[in-house]
Amino acid sequence: MHPLKKLGLLFVLLALLAGAIPAQGESVTGYAAENTVNLYGKNSASASVVATVSYGESLTCLAAKDGWVLVEYSDEEYAYCRASDLTKKDPNVYSLTVYAQEDAVAYARPVKGGKSLALTAGTTLTLVAVTPDGKWCRVEKNGVNAYVPASALSKDKDPDEPMKTVDAYAADTLVRLWEKSGGAGSTAGYLGYGEKVTCSALENGWAYVKGVSAAGWCKAASLDTENPCSRSATLAVGEDGARAYALPSASARGIASLKAGTALKCVGITPDGKWCRVTAGGKYGYVRKSDMTTSTKVDKVIALALEQLDKPYVYATRGPASFDCAGLTLYCYQKVCGISLGRSAQSQGYNEKYPKIETISQLLPGDLVFFNTEPEDDDLTDHVGIYLGNGRFVHASSSGKKVMISSLSSGFYKKSFSWGRRLIP
């Protein structure tokens, strides 16, 4: 029996990793993000390897600290792995029918060894994932998962049979399309973040896709089967002359010149944080984030929050003479919007009524921002403020002893940022 197996020892480990348990003390599911991921008996690369998992396999993550995650990898079997070897996003996103090109072997791991299934030429399989190096496919057959070299699979059993397609979306700011798989040939076009395409082929980590205005091969890793631009916020153009582009690039084709005050729906912000994907009249385009302002209600919330600058921090107060952190956010949103928030940063942070914003680059002015300022407890939202834009937020600070503006771009608050919540769409 592995020394971590006994459940009593788990609680000792959790005590050592205090504050690193996932939100509200619940476990979360993580997935192996590399071809193979080693699991160690201790949180050290010099410790013995007790197990190995393969790309796409799931693990129950119990706690994390200093770049290591405590995981349960089978029934009451516990170990450590590097946090960088895991992803919280399920990579098993495909559901494509593929065929064995010839008699072949499906392996238990993405290495040649440990036979799992014997395949005959023409065997039908469901492809669910492609390893990061593009050399192996994770496939499913009769409820069994295995790994087959990508070179041993074909998208067609019968050349005359139409290829099935799946919908996908551009997940990078700008996705380059090529004439041939592997980045060969000339550029066939580009996709902008959130653009919907149909994927009809996968080959060695590359996907053949067709969008509204372009078709070609791109890296499969630059696609997502879930729409990354599924939420919206009403924004307005800040100044006359701002332009909307067909793609998130200043060198792309301009599609409109916008007047100050023009209202647009922002459905997503590109991963680099520089562009908004906007829609109006059923058409999509991209506008620089710096050219957009928020709605009137958000402006009023921010203006009210800024009026409280330098008022004293006093625990368990909600204005108007003094505030604690949750009291400030509650006061501003209740007075301007009639929104009743919880009385603590924790209740506001875990309120699933409002969309969760995972990264700083995706924040918009007016969003609530939450921080894990006390890593010794289980709560990941010990502190809250209101995002102002340009990497700044306003908050009632217990350490600063007043309402003040701080930076999210660097330092303590960037490191302790947990997530945001969008109260006004």
State whether residue 378 is helix, strand or coil. coil
* Catalytic site includes residue 383: yes
Instruction: Look at residues 172, 132, 170 and name the one whose alpha carbon lies nearest to residue 33.
Output: 132
Burial zone of 78 (CB within 10 Å; 0-12 exposed, 13-18 middle, 19+ buried): buried
Give the number of other Cβ atoms within 10 Å of residue 10's Cβ. Answer: 17
Instruction: Look at residues 203, 36, 34, 49 and name the one whose alpha carbon lies nearest to residue 107.
Output: 36
Note whether 13 and 79 are within 8 A (CB). Answer: no
State whether residue 112 is helix, strand or coil. coil
C-alpha torsion sign, points 270, 276, 282, 283: negative
* Catalytic site includes residue 2: no
Query: Residue holding tokens 């039908």?
Result: 124
The two three-digit tokens of residue 391, written as one number: 């990497």
The two three-digit tokens of residue 298, written as one number: 């958000």
Instruction: Please state, in angstroms and rounded to a whole number, the distance separating the CA atoms of residues 200 and 96.
Output: 9
Say which of 229, 325, 332, 337 is annotated catalytic: 325
- Determine how β-strand 356-357 pairs with β-strand 292-294: unpaired
SS3 per residue for 191-231:
EECCCEEEEEEEECCEEEEECCCCEEEEEHHHEECCCCCCC
Rounded to the nearest 5°, which phi and psi values hold at 242? -65, 145
Note whether 23 and 50 are within 8 A (CB). Answer: no
* Catalytic site includes residue 395: yes
32 strand-pairing partners: 86
313 strand-pairing partners: 323
Note whether 188 and 226 are within 8 A (CB). Answer: no
State whether residue 379 is helix, strand or coil. coil
The two three-digit tokens of residue 232, written as one number: 């919206």
Note whether 202 and 209 are within 8 A (CB). Answer: no
Instruction: Please state, in angstroms and rounded to a whole number, the distance separating the CA atoms of residues 266 and 287.
Output: 9
Say which of 137, 218, 276, 395 is annotated catalytic: 395
Residues forming the active site: 325, 383, 395
